[in-house]
Amino acid sequence: MIDDDGDFDDGYFGENIAADYDESAADMFRPEAVDPAVDLLAELAGDGPALELGVGTGRIALPLTARGVPVHGIDMSRAMVDRLRAKPGGEAVDVTIGDFATTRVKGEFALVYLVFNTINNLTTQDAQVDCFRTAAAHLRPGGRFVVEVGVPELRKLPAGQTAVPFHISDTRWAFDTYDVATQAMSSHYVTIVDGRAEHWSVPFRYVWPAELDLMARLAGLRLRDRWQDWTREPFTSESGKHVSVWEKPAD
C-alpha cells in the first residue's frame, strides 16, 4: 500500500464501520451483484489498467484483478483498505490513501470507475467536479470513466416530508433524508442490538444524470453510454439508478 503524507483520517468509514462493512452490505457482495459489474468493467478496461476511486474493502477491485485487469485504488479510509489487504489477492491491488476527488497517482489508465453511489460521498458540487477532473487527468486518450449511482428518489417525497425509507426489518431500519434546496442528503441506519437501538448516519450529496454530464464536459469528457444497470438494460424515466460511461477523446 502506498501512503501519501499521513494527513488523512478515515472519515465516516473508520474502524467501527469497516469491522462489519462486508456483512452489513452482504447483498452487494453476492455474485449476482458483483459479476455483471466486473464483466462490464473488464470489457471497458480492455488491455489497460484500471483505477478505482473509493476502493473500500475490494468488493470490485479484487475480482477485477483476478480477471487479469491491474487495479490501483484510492481511498481515504485506512480501516477499509486494511480489510482489502487482508483478503486473498489483496496484495495485488496497489492502494493510495487520500481523497479520491483530488489525489493523483502515477501512470495513465484505460478505465477509471466509481461504484455503489460512491460519487455521493463527495458532499459538495465543487468536490464532484474535481472528481471528474481527477478522473480525466488519469485517463489515457480513449479511456473511459464509469459511475454507478442512484437516481434521487424525490418523487417519493410528499409535500413537507424529507425522509424515504429503503429497508425495514425486525432488527434494522434504514432511510434517506433529503434537502432539496442544497441537494444534501444523509443515509441513516438504526440497528437493534440486545434490545437497544444503535444509530449512525453518513452525509451525501445527490446528483442528477444531466448534472454529471455537465461535470464530464467541464473535464473534457463526453457521454458514451448510459444504462439502467450493469447488464446494459436501457435507462428510462423509471430507472432507480444508472451506470454511465464517459470517454476521453482519442485526439
Degrees to nearest 5, angle at CA 181 with 176 and 187 = 15
> What's 222's DSSP letter?
E
Residues 48/110, Cβ–Cβ less than 8 Å: yes
Average pLDDT over residues 147-158: 94
Q: In the prediction, which pLDDT does 95 show?
A: 98
pLDDT higher than 50, residue 153: yes
> Domains in the chain, please, with CATH?
2-152+207-247 (3.40.50.150), 154-202 (2.20.25)
Residue 7 has pLDDT above 80, yes or no: no
pLDDT at 238 over 60: yes
Say which residue, 4 or 178, is predicted with more confidence: 178
Provide mean pLDDT across the span 197-213.
95
Cell numbers that stand for 136 in this block? 480525466
Residues whose CB is less than 8 angstroms from the CB of residue 110 and which lie 6 or more positions away in sequence, other chains included? 44, 45, 46, 47, 48, 49, 50, 139, 140, 142, 143, 144
pTM over 0.85: yes
Phi, psi of 97, deg, nearest 5: -85, 125
Whole-number Å distance between alpha carbons of 189 and 173 = 6
Question: Quick one: pLDDT band at residue 1, thresholds 50, 70, 90?
Answer: very low
In which region does residue 3 sit, left (phi positive, over 0), alpha (psi from -120 to 50) or beta (all else)? beta
- 215 phi, psi to nearest 5 deg: -60, -40
- pLDDT single digits (tens) 79-117: 999 999 999 999 999 999 999 999 999 999 999 999 999
What pLDDT is stored for residue 2 in this prediction?
46
Give the sign of the dihedral formed by CA 44, CA 49, CA 54, CA 60.
positive
Q: What is the pLDDT of residues 115-139, one digit of tens each?
A: 999 999 999 999 999 999 999 999 9
